[in-house]
Chain A
Amino acid sequence: MILDCHSHIASHRILPPQFFKGWSKTVKSSLPFKLDAAQEERIDDLLYELNEDPDCVKMLREMNQAGIDKTVLLVIDFGLAYSDLGVTIEEIHLAHKKLIDRSDRFVAFSNVDPRRGKEGLDLFEKAVREWGFCGMKLYAPCGYAPNDKALFPFYEICSQLHLPVLTHVGPTTSTLSFRNTQPWDVDDAAFQFPAVNFILGHAGVMHYEQAGLLAQYRPNVYLDLSGFQVAVNRHEFNKIMVWHISQGLTKKLLFGTDWPIYRFWGSQMTWVETLKRLRQEGTISTEDFNAIMGDNLLGILPAMERKLVNYGT
């Protein structure tokens, strides 16, 4: 079974233009050649095009081609970090609910900025108790820390319902702060809530040595590999995977793609094939491959009801 632990609905309502604006600036500044104004505009066009699949039909098509059985859709609450989004956090949750109600190929993790107070906590509780959301996402670049006490009531609910928490690690779009995105920023929460499994987003490849140490010593810390596409492009991915294996971390790694962010560099099939190649080359065993591609995540997701399977096909 192949499970993608990290994806987003590709929609300008869900991943707002402010997010893409900063990301586009970062991409353009990282290019090793000079761009003229028309080329800068063309890059903006292409990056915006990544974000045009609001009903996840393209994603499902690529999941089918790649053999991905199920994908975790992560809500991000940008509402307090960016102004004028034109959509409420409840509407964003309902857009995710619509998809998980239609298809058992999707599950969703809720995210409500803890600074929204009781109203935010109530929305989170409704999402996980009534709407079928089966985990929590945290996006510290929006301006809060994973160990913020305001999150503890959320963690209590996660503990009670056996819901995992996926928190972003590492830099992101240049229009948000990178503070509180180190692996160890999660340690207080992981220590205080040992019954909650924490997935460090991107930490399988971003700050992976620090994150790996945390995952070795905290039974409830896991590492998401999404973002590995950058390591593949830099020819560093095999080396990183060999390091994880040497540290005995294969039961802590989770396959993820971060759709739609890396669509530019390959299809979902490209990314599954990259992992399959590691198995074919003997870098990872079949048992470890199965663990990374799905079994590890399956072990920390709550049991879920099956729903309709034919949406988007």
Chain B
Amino acid sequence: MEPNDVVREIVARVATKGIPSSAISGEMSLSNDLGIDSLQFIRVILELESKLARKIFSVELIAKIKTFADLCAAVAAQDRAYA
């Protein structure tokens, strides 16, 4: 499974607005469009790091993530840093 697929799968599972995984697009806001509140966002972070078996997020990075694309980019940037 590619990292972006992992992100999509976890976001779709945690999202409360019933949007299917395939319908999640980059510009969607995690909060407003997908219904992931601040507490559920912690769940996304923890599950992503568990699934990908590495630390990905810093406090400053977390504060900047607003959309699905931001989240995918954060994971990809960390992948590049450790490639």
Question: Chain B interface: which size bin?
Answer: 10 to 19
Minimum CB–CB distance from B59 to chain A (whole Å) comes to 5
Instruction: Decide if A43 is an interface residue (CB 8 Å cutoff).
Output: yes
Instruction: Decide if A35 is an interface residue (CB 8 Å cutoff).
Output: yes
Minimum CB–CB distance from B61 to chain A (whole Å) comes to 10
14 example contacts (A-B, Cβ-Cβ < 8 A) are as follows A30-B39, A31-B39, A32-B39, A32-B40, A33-B43, A39-B46, A43-B42, A43-B46, A49-B58, A50-B59, A263-B59, A264-B63, A267-B60, A267-B63
Chain A hits for B27, CB < 8 A: none
Chain A hits for B50, CB < 8 A: 36, 38-39
Are A266 and B63 in contact, with the CB atoms below 8 A?
yes
Instruction: Decide if B62 is an interface residue (CB 8 Å cutoff).
Output: yes
Determine the distance from Cα of A32 to Cα of B54 in the docked complex, in whole angstroms. 23
Residues of B contacting A: mostly: helix
Are A49 and B59 in contact, with the CB atoms below 8 A?
yes
Determine the distance from Cα of A49 to Cα of B58 in the docked complex, in whole angstroms. 8
Measured CB to CB, the nearest residue on chain B to A52 is: B59
B43-54 interface code vs A (CB 8 A; 1 in, 0 out): 100100110000
Chain B hits for A58, CB < 8 A: 60
Residues of A contacting B: mostly: helix
Determine the distance from Cα of A233 to Cα of B55 in the docked complex, in whole angstroms. 25
8 additional A-B pairs beyond A32-B39, A263-B59, beta carbons within 8 Å, are: A30-B39, A31-B42, A33-B43, A35-B46, A43-B46, A49-B59, A267-B63, A267-B64
CB neighbors of B among A47-71 (8 A): 49-50, 58
Instruction: Decide if B38 is an interface residue (CB 8 Å cutoff).
Output: yes
Chain A hits for B62, CB < 8 A: 46, 264
Minimum CB–CB distance from A147 to chain B (whole Å) comes to 35
Determine the distance from Cα of A201 to Cα of B55 in the docked complex, in whole angstroms. 35
Instruction: Decide if A265 is an interface residue (CB 8 Å cutoff).
Output: yes
Minimum CB–CB distance from A265 to chain B (whole Å) comes to 6
Minimum CB–CB distance from A61 to chain B (whole Å) comes to 10
**Among A30, A42, A263, residue most surrounded by chain B Cβ atoms (within 10 Å):** A42
Chain B hits for A49, CB < 8 A: 58-59
Minimum CB–CB distance from B33 to chain A (whole Å) comes to 14
Measured CB to CB, the nearest residue on chain B to A51 is: B59
Chain B hits for A103, CB < 8 A: none
Determine the distance from Cα of A38 to Cα of B59 in the docked complex, in whole angstroms. 18
**Among A31, A35, A49, A264, residue most surrounded by chain B Cβ atoms (within 10 Å):** A264
Minimum CB–CB distance from A39 to chain B (whole Å) comes to 5
Instruction: Decide if A270 is an interface residue (CB 8 Å cutoff).
Output: yes
Chain A hits for B64, CB < 8 A: 267
Are B37 and A233 in contact, with the CB atoms below 8 A?
yes
B1-45 interface code vs A (CB 8 A; 1 in, 0 out): 000000000000000000000000000000000000111101100
Are B59 and A46 in contact, with the CB atoms below 8 A?
yes
Determine the distance from Cα of A308 to Cα of B40 in the docked complex, in whole angstroms. 43
Minimum CB–CB distance from B67 to chain A (whole Å) comes to 14
Chain A hits for B37, CB < 8 A: 233-234
Are A265 and B63 in contact, with the CB atoms below 8 A?
yes
Are A46 and B38 in contact, with the CB atoms below 8 A?
no
Measured CB to CB, the nearest residue on chain A to B40 is: A32
Chain B hits for A43, CB < 8 A: 42, 46
Minimum CB–CB distance from B3 to chain A (whole Å) comes to 18
Are B46 and A42 in contact, with the CB atoms below 8 A?
yes
Minimum CB–CB distance from B14 to chain A (whole Å) comes to 9
Chain A hits for B60, CB < 8 A: 58, 263, 267
Are A46 and B57 in contact, with the CB atoms below 8 A?
yes
